[in-house]
Amino acid sequence: MTTTIILLGGDGIGPEVAGAAVQALAAVGRRFGRAFAFEERPIGGAALRAGRPPLPRETLDACRHADAVLLGAVGDPLFDAEPAARRPEAGLLELRRELGLFANLRPIRIWPGGEAASPLRPDRVAGLDLLIVRELTGGLYFGEPRGESADRQQAFNTMRYSCAEVERIAEVAFRQAAARRCQVVSVDKANVLETSQLWRATVERVGARHPAVRLEHQYVDSCALALVLEPRRFDVILTENLFGDILSDQAGGLTGSLGVLPSASLGDGPGLFEPVHGSAPALAGRDAANPMGAVLSAALLLRHALGAEAEAQAVEAAVAATFARRCCTPDLAGPLGVAPARCSQVTAAIVAEITSPAK
**Per-residue exposure over 319-329, b if at least 16 CB sit within 10 Å of its own CB, e if not:** bbbbbeebbbb
Instruction: Outline where 137-291 has alpha helix (H).
Output: 163-178, 194-208, 220-229, 241-253
Nearer to ligand IPM, 93 or 266 (CB): 93
Strands 183-188 and 236-239: parallel
Please report the DSSP string for 33-73 in residue order.
T-EEEEEE---HHHHHHTTS-SS-HHHHHHHHTSSEEEEEE
Q: Is 92 in the site for ligand IPM (CB under 6 A)?
A: yes
- CB 108 within 8 Å of CB 72: no
Question: What SS3 state is found at 4?
Answer: strand
Distance of closest approach, residue 278 Cβ to ligand IPM, in angstroms:
6
| 141 catalytic per annotation | yes
- List, in sequence order, every residue forming a beta bridge with 351; answer none if it has no partner: none
Candidates 87-95, 120-128, 213-221, 301-309 — which segment interacts with ligand IPM by CB under 6 A?
Answer: 87-95
Annotated active-site residue in 76, 141, 161, 188: 141
Can you tell me which of 76, 89, 135, 353 binds ligand IPM, judged by CB under 6 A? 89
Q: Which stretch binds ligand IPM (CB under 6 A): 86-94, 191-199, 319-327, 335-343?
A: 86-94
Is 249 assigned a catalytic role? yes
Please state the closest distance from residue 326 (CB atom) to ligand IPM, in A.
28
Residue with smaller CB distance to ligand IPM, 43 or 320: 43
Annotated active-site residue 287? The verdict is no
Q: Which does 93 bind (CB under 5 to 8 A by kind): Mn ion, ligand NAD, ligand IPM, none?
A: ligand IPM
DSSP string, 76-125: -GGGTTS-GGGSHHHHHHHHHHHTT--EEEEEEEPPTTGGGGSSS-HHHH
Q: What's the min distance (Å) between Cβ of 17 and Mn ion?
A: 15
Residue number with the smallest Cβ distance to ligand IPM: 89
How near is the Cβ of 347 to ligand NAD at its closest, in Å? Answer: 12
Please say if 268 is a catalytic residue.
no
Nearest distance in Å: CB 60, ligand IPM: 16
Q: Quick check: is 189 catalytic?
A: yes
Q: Which of 62, 74, 131, 134 is nearest to 99 (CA)?
A: 62
Is 328 a binding residue for ligand IPM by CB under 6 A? The answer is no
By CB under 5 A, the residues from 221 to 250 that bind Mn ion are: 245
Q: Quick one: which of 329, 337, 327 has its CA closest to 358?
A: 327
Our CA angle for 237, 240, 242, nearest 5°, is 110
Q: Which residues bind ligand NAD (CB under 6 A)?
A: 13, 17, 73-75, 89, 92, 257-259, 274, 277-280, 282-283, 289-290, 293, 329, 331
Q: Quote the Cα angle for 297-302-132, to 5°.
A: 45
How far, in Å, CA of 224 to CA of 239, rounded? 12
The residues carrying an active-site annotation are 141, 189, 221, 245, 249
Residues that bind ligand IPM (CB under 6 A): 75, 89, 92-93, 245, 276, 278
